[in-house]
Amino acid sequence: MKLIIIIAWRNIWRNRRRSIIMITAITVGLWGGLFAASFSHGLLEQRFETSIEQHISHMQIHHPDFIRDQAIEHQIHDWAEIYDMLSADGEIKAFSGRTILSGMLSSANLTRGVRIMGINPELEAQTTGISNHLVSGTYFAEEIANQILVGKKLAEKTKLQERSRLVLTFQDQDGELVSAAFRVAGIYQTANSVFDESHIFVLQSDLQSILDEQIIINEIALLAKDAEAIPQIRDTYQELFPANTFRTWNEIATELSYLIEMARVMITIILIIILLALGFGLVNTMLMSVFERTRELGMLLSVGMNKTRVFLMILFETAFLSLLGTLGGILLSVGFIYLTSKRGIDLASVGGDSMEAFGFSTVVYPSLSINLYFTLIILVIITAILTTIYPALKATRLSPAEAVRDQ
C-alpha cells in the first residue's frame, strides 16, 4: 500500500502544469462557493439577529384577533399574570409589553400614518435595546410627559428634529378620535429602514392618561436565555394562558424563516454545481492521465500488479489532487472570510442602500459555520471517489498484452 501511495503521489507531479491547473481550479471553485455561502450566511445571520434583537424578539404574545385586526380593543387581558410568570421564569431573559395603536403623525410640514408603540422604557430597553439605537437626542427622561422617539427615516421625511413638536391622532376604544401633542426626545435608527419609517415610540403611561384607561397591553415580546428552548417555552405558556396566542419568531416572520431555508438550499445548490464541475474536471484530468499511460499501465498489469492495486493507485492520484485543491480552497476561504468578517463588506457603493429597505444591513460580515467545512471535505472526498471510478475502470480494463505494445 505504501508503494502504491508513493507512486500515486509522484505520478501527480509528472505533469506538473496539469496538476497545478487542476488543483488551482478546485481551490478557486471552492473559494468562490465558500465565499458565496459565507456571504449569504453572514447576510442572513445579521438580518436574523437584527430582526430578533431589534424588532421581533424570540416570541410574541397577542390576543388571537389582534394578529388579524390590529385594533386597540384586542388586548391581552391577563397581562399582569403573564408578567408575573415571566419575571419569575429563569429561562426568560427579558420581556416588554406594548400598547399598539395605528395613528397619524402630523408635523409642521407633513402628515403620515404611523404605528404608535406605547412602551415601558425600562422593559423595552432590555428587550429590543432601542435605547442603544439613538442617533441623536435622549431616551425617555422620567419627569417629562409626552416624549416621543421617531425613526431616522421618518424624521428625514417629515423634517423632524430633536425637540420638534408634533401631534399624534388615533382612535380610542370607543372609536373616538383623540389627538395629543408630543415633543421629539430622540431619533433612533435600526438596520431596517422600513421599520424606522413607520414605528414611533411613546410612553405607555402617557397613552394611559390620554386614553383615560387602565394600562392596555396588545403585545408582549420576549427573549429567552436560550433560543433553542423557545418552542418548548411557547408550548408551556400557551397551555397556561390559552386565551392568548403565543408565536415564535419563525411563525411571526415567516418570510425570514423562508429566506433562511431558501439560502440553505441555494448554498447547497451552489456547492453541488461546484462539486459537479470539479468532478467533471477531475474525470477529464484522470482520463487524460490514464490514456497517456496506457503502456505503463499495461506493464504494471503484465508484471502482476493486480487490478485492485491499479485502481487504488488511480484513486490515490485523484484523492491527492482533490484534497490538495480542497485544502487550498479552504485555507483561502478561511483567510478571506476571516478578513472580511472583521472588516465587513460595505455594499453602500454598489447600491446596497436599497438593501436597507428590506431590513438588510449595508455592511455584510461574511461568516460560515465550521460544519460546512467538514461537510464540504466529506463531499469532496465522495466526489473524488466517484470521479475515480470511470478512469480507474478504464485503466483496469486494459488488456495488458495490448496496452504494453500501445504506440
In the complex, least distance from residue 299 CB atom to other proteins, rounded to whole angstroms: 4
- Residue 10 near other proteins by CB under 8 A: yes
- Residue 304 near other proteins by CB under 8 A: yes
- Residue 159 near other proteins by CB under 8 A: no
Give dist(CA 203, CA 235) in Å, integer.
Answer: 31
Site pattern 40..79 for other proteins (x: CB under 8 A):
----------------------------------------
Q: Which three cell numbers stand for residue 405?
A: 505494445
Give dist(CA 365, CA 344) in Å, integer.
Answer: 4
The residue count of the chain comes to 407
Tell which one of 125, 178, 270, 299 touches other proteins (CB under 8 A).
299
- Residue 306 near other proteins by CB under 8 A: yes
- Residue 104 near other proteins by CB under 8 A: no
- Residue 307 near other proteins by CB under 8 A: yes
Q: Which is nearer to other proteins, 98 or 293 (CB)?
A: 293
Q: Which is nearer to other proteins, 47 or 293 (CB)?
A: 293
Q: What is the DSSP letter of 206?
A: H
Tell which one of 145, 288, 382, 401 touches other proteins (CB under 8 A).
401
In the complex, least distance from residue 310 CB atom to other proteins, rounded to whole angstroms: 10
Q: Which of 307, 319, 303 is nearest to 381 (CA)?
A: 319
- Residue 301 near other proteins by CB under 8 A: yes
Burial of 13: CB neighbours in 10 Å, binned 0-12, 13-18, 19+: exposed
Contact indicator for 185, 149 with CB cutoff of 8 Å: yes
Q: Which residues contact 57 (CB under 8 A, 6 or more apart)?
A: 96, 127, 128, 221, 222, 223, 249
Give dist(CA 277, CA 405) in Å, integer.
Answer: 34
In the complex, least distance from residue 7 CB atom to other proteins, rounded to whole angstroms: 6
Q: What is the DSSP letter of 253?
A: -
Task: Tell me the number of residues near other proteins by CB under 8 A.
Answer: 24
- Residue 397 near other proteins by CB under 8 A: no
- Residue 398 near other proteins by CB under 8 A: no
- Residue 20 near other proteins by CB under 8 A: no
Q: Which three cell numbers stand for residue 296?
A: 505503463
Amino acid letter, 161: Q
Q: Which three cell numbers stand for residue 180?
A: 395629543
Tell which one of 11, 75, 128, 285 touches other proteins (CB under 8 A).
11
Within residues 257-296, the interface with other proteins by CB under 8 A covers 295-296
59-62 and 219-224: which strand pairing?
A: antiparallel
CB atoms within 10 A of CB 308: 10
- Residue 156 near other proteins by CB under 8 A: no
In the complex, least distance from residue 340 CB atom to other proteins, rounded to whole angstroms: 41
Instruction: For residue 404, give Cα distances in angstroms to 106, 219, 285.
Output: 92, 82, 22
Q: Which is nearer to other proteins, 86 or 310 (CB)?
A: 310
Q: Residues in the site for other proteins, rule: CB under 8 A?
A: 3, 7, 10-11, 13-14, 295-296, 298-307, 309, 399-401, 404-405
